[in-house]
Amino acid sequence: MAIKVYKRNTAGRRNMSIVKPDEISNKKPEKSLLTKLTKISGRSGGKISVRHRGGGHKRRYRLVDFKQDKLGIPGKIVAIEKDPVRSALIALVVYADGEKRYILASEGMKVGVDIVADKKAPFQDGNRMQLKNIPVGTIISNVELKIGKGGQLARSAGTGVSLMGIDEKNVQLKLSSGEIRLVNGNCYATIGQVSNFENSAVKIGKAGRKRWMGFRPTVRGSVMNPVDHPHGGGEGKQGVGLKYPKTPWGKIALGKKTRKKKKYSNKFIVKRRIKKK
């Protein structure tokens, strides 16, 4: 994997770079695993519910198998591909019964490697098994939170979860945020961290490239008018002028805890995530 840094021959190229993974296969996506991706531009019922979304390049959605519920049936990696809607690479698996599926590619996964998902599988990167059967200290990814629901934790590029300990029924997982939580030992996880860890080093370089991704321009509230934002107004560069920063709708921002105090999953959190300074 290499990061290509462009020559500084224009203003947009000055800080632009892209990741070029070595293991990418030179083939078109599997047609049977593609579906249309409808653009909603951050709207719900025709009204904007998420700001600064819209436009973007036309894309097709890859049907990724987060459950990997073909237990005991070995599969072979036949291609490693880039997915336009996610940061991680995806792998095309052909199982022994002939079925093809996309899965999240683990770090170091290559074409021709055999993988398997089972309650207790060989300890190998890319294999998937129940948490209670994975050795303590292993880095895992695509972790289930509910039995049979499919992976929900550690799915973006380069992320991984550390398996800290195994109790009678639950296992302790340390997330990349620093949070330690309990998960049922019968849930499944994939050995190894997610591929494309260098994705975070990419520099967008120019505004147009961000528009291709479906993001519209964002500006600070302090440069708006008072009618548009609580921080707006004033002559020159003014401060917020409030006891604490607010969202465009007048709610407390920056530091306000939004998690429900009586959320059902609070009992599974052993240690809260580390607060960013």
In a domain? residue 164: yes
Task: Judge whether residue 1 has pLDDT over 80.
Answer: no
In a domain? residue 256: no
Task: Judge whether residue 227 has pLDDT over 90.
Answer: yes
Shared domain check, 70 and 14: no
The whole-number pLDDT of residue 277 equals: 65
Each residue of 240-257: pLDDT tens digit? 889 999 999 999 998 888
Shared domain check, 119 and 16: no
pLDDT class for 182, splitting at 50, 70, 90? very high
Shared domain check, 69 and 9: no
Cα 216 to Cα 2: distance, rounded to the nearest angstrom = 29
Shared domain check, 140 and 159: yes
Shared domain check, 53 and 185: yes
Shared domain check, 16 and 37: no
Each residue of 34-69: pLDDT tens digit? 999 998 899 999 999 999 999 999 999 999 999 999
- Span 259-277, average pLDDT: 88
* Host domain of residue 91: 22-195+265-271
The whole-number pLDDT of residue 20 equals: 86
The whole-number pLDDT of residue 256 equals: 86
In a domain? residue 11: yes
Structural domain count of the chain: 2
In a domain? residue 111: yes
CATH number at residue 187: 2.40.50.140
In a domain? residue 128: yes
Task: Judge whether residue 152 has pLDDT over 80.
Answer: yes
In a domain? residue 238: no
pLDDT class for 3, splitting at 50, 70, 90? confident
In a domain? residue 34: yes
Shared domain check, 50 and 6: no
pTM score, whole prediction: 0.89
Q: For the chain, what is the mean pLDDT?
A: 92
Shared domain check, 173 and 90: yes
